[in-house]
Amino acid sequence: MRTYIRQRVPGGTYFFTVNLAERRNNDLLIRYVHILREACRYAQQRHPFEISAMVILPEHLHCIWRLPEGDDDFPLRWRLLKTHFSRHIPKGEHISSSRQPKGERGIWQRRYWEHLIRDDVDFQRHADYIHYNPVKHGYVERPLDWQYSSFHRWVKSGLYPPDWAAPSDLLELSRRET
């Protein structure tokens, strides 16, 4: 069995996948996208970080963050972001028996996936994955058609053409994951 060791590097760049606790038929993240954006700003104001790429889907999100030099505390930032979001949306979600005694909401999965970006190629592959994700999940036919994505900022900056399509190796990987 492989042991997972969380790798934290001060000033590092990380890819994250963060999920809602209840993923089936749940659209909280896009229904309350304005509160999610506010939660990002809230966390950034208290502990700065740069969002290099991001896509928000109905029940999960992917992003790449760059932390300031000498700082590796992404768990604190996620705690601030998740807490702010949870406090500002209406109650009504199912709360599991393990969360009830702690007074926790049932919004987010407790854990998330993080990956330390190793180099420019790794960064680009993860950015491509992020921007292709709404197509992969069948929400749109082209990344340009998904409004909750940094894809539009990347197009405006000249990093992608508006008609960008994912590289064939990413398409093949996405087919295997589905």
Q: Are strands 13-19 and 50-56 parallel, antiparallel or unpaired?
A: unpaired
Query: Considering 14, 129, 132, 148, which one is annotated as catalytic?
Result: 148
Q: Write down the pLDDT at residue 141.
A: 93
Going from the N-terminus, what domains does the chain have, and what CATH number goes with each? 13-177 (3.30.70.1290)
Q: Write down the pLDDT at residue 106.
A: 76
Q: pLDDT in tens for each of the 178 residues of the chain?
A: 555 557 889 999 999 999 999 888 899 999 999 999 999 999 999 999 999 999 999 999 999 999 999 999 999 999 999 999 999 998 877 777 777 676 677 789 989 999 999 999 999 999 999 999 999 999 999 999 999 999 999 999 999 999 998 777 666 656 666 5
Q: Write down the pLDDT at residue 120.
A: 97
Q: Write down the pLDDT at residue 5.
A: 57
Q: Write down the pLDDT at residue 7.
A: 80
CA dihedral 28, 20, 38, 10 (to 10 degrees): -160
CA distance linking residue 19 with residue 104, whole number of Å: 16
Give DSSP secondary structure letters for the chain: -PPP-----TT-EEEEEEEBS--TT--HHHHTHHHHHHHHHHHHHHS--EEEEEEE-SSEEEEEEEPPTT---HHHHHHHHHHHHHHTS-S-S---TTTGGGT--SSB-S--EEEE--SHHHHHHHHHHHHHHHHHTTS-SSGGG-SSBTHHHHHHTTSS-TT----HHHHHHHHHH-
Is-catalytic flag, 129? no
pTM above 0.85, yes or no: yes
Angle at which helices 120-136 and 168-177 cross, to 10°: 60
CA distance linking residue 15 with residue 37, whole number of Å: 18
Q: Write down the pLDDT at residue 173.
A: 58
Q: Write down the pLDDT at residue 89.
A: 93
